Amino acid sequence: MTGLRWGILATGGIAHAFATDLRAAGLDLVAVGSRSQESADAFAAEFDIPSAYDSYEALAADPEVDILYISTPHPLHVENAVLALQNGTHVLIEKPITLNAAEAARIRDLAAEKGLLAMEAMWTRYLPHMVRIREIIAEGTLGEIRAVTADHTQKITADPAHRLNALELGGGALLDLGIYPISFTWDVLGAPSGIQASARLQATRADEEVATIFTYPGGQIATTLSSSRAAGPNTATILGTEARIDIDHVWYTPTSFRVVAADGTVLESYESDVISRGMQYQAFAAERLVAEGRLEGDILPIDESVAIMGTLDEIRRQIGVRYPGE
């Protein structure tokens, strides 16, 4: 490890989860910034962080911070990431990386210009069970992959002022929840050649359910479902001609899976030994990349993050969701 000095920009729920896992993993957390000194001080006290700032600008200017975790709502990601990059600081940006592909490309291009790491915090991809799944696929155990299916469905508040339901805050099930199964399909099958989407919109015009069908040049099919109004199984399956992988609830967190042959024989059972949420694994990856002098990794290159945002853009076009200012 390089011993990078981490800062956290914003102090919401996901920032607490990330800081908890960083501390448990023994990584160096040195600064936090909020829009209020009171919030920054409380967060710093909770996680024993030496520096607390009452503005994002002050945090980004701290020369003791090597990398910033951007944990604001996604409409602010591009502004916050640009601020950090312009101050010479690497960034790990909470998913989805931005509101749309154009914003993601802006971050990518600025990071390349500055010679800095800009990485989407799609933490699921870095979890040990996902690493093992990619190994199994590469070994050819599944045969020809024919289909992928995954859902991310939760029953969340219907309050129209809640971030998930407000268009001005980037609300909607797609960007908050659907990003998980859609990024998963990209991880397994790559870029889709065809996209079909259908959705139910709420009174605020944000999406509350979105279903997608992706097709691929090799004939594969992927289906995803996201919902903020109902809790489903939250499982995933990769279906091959020789075997399949069934990932258990909750598939995008540390969990178990089985490799099942076509005749029903269980070829492998995997049980996770991760006792935390597992957000530290993406931090480990970021530190390794910086130590190696690389600006992006193989697990989720920044170009792929930009392209996934393009997929989400097309889905939103089909379902009629447009954010203010677009």
Instruction: Tell me how far apart the terminal alpha carbons of the chain are, to the nearest angstrom.
Output: 40
Average pLDDT estimate for 201-205: 96
- State the DSSP H helix or E strand holding residue 317, giving kind and residue range, or none if neither: helix 302-319
Backbone angles phi, psi at 153, to 5 degrees: -130, 125
Average pLDDT estimate for 205-234: 98
156 pLDDT higher than 80: yes
- Averaged confidence pLDDT in the chain: 97
Kindly report, residue by residue over 91-107, the tens digit of the pLDDT. Answer: 999 999 999 999 999 99
The single-letter code of the amino acid at 86 is Q
325 falls in which pLDDT band (50, 70, 90)?
Answer: confident
2 pLDDT higher than 90: no
- Output the CATH code of domain 128-273+308-319: 3.30.360.10
pLDDT recorded at residue 132: 98
Residue range 5-123+279-293 forms a domain whose CATH class is: alpha beta
Strand-pair partners of 51: 31
Average pLDDT estimate for 224-244: 98
**10: alpha, beta or left? (left if phi > 0; alpha if psi -120 to 50):** left
Sheet holding 221-227, edge to edge: 194-201, 207-215, 221-227, 145-153, 236-240, 243-247, 257-261, 266-270
Cβ-proximal residues to 322 (8 Å cutoff; 6+ apart), any chain: 316
For CA atoms 257, 258, 259, 261, the dihedral sign is negative
Q: What are the extents of the domains in the chain?
A: 5-123+279-293, 128-273+308-319
pLDDT recorded at residue 1: 41
21-25, 161-165, 180-184: segment of lowest average pLDDT: 161-165
18-22, 74-78, 160-164, 247-251: segment of lowest average pLDDT: 160-164
172 pLDDT higher than 50: yes
Average pLDDT estimate for 145-155: 98
Average pLDDT estimate for 247-261: 98
252 pLDDT higher than 70: yes
3 falls in which pLDDT band (50, 70, 90)?
Answer: confident
Cβ-proximal residues to 264 (8 Å cutoff; 6+ apart), any chain: none
| Choice between 103 and 297, residue whose per-residue pLDDT is larger | 103
Strand-pair partners of 8: 32, 69
Average pLDDT estimate for 207-230: 98
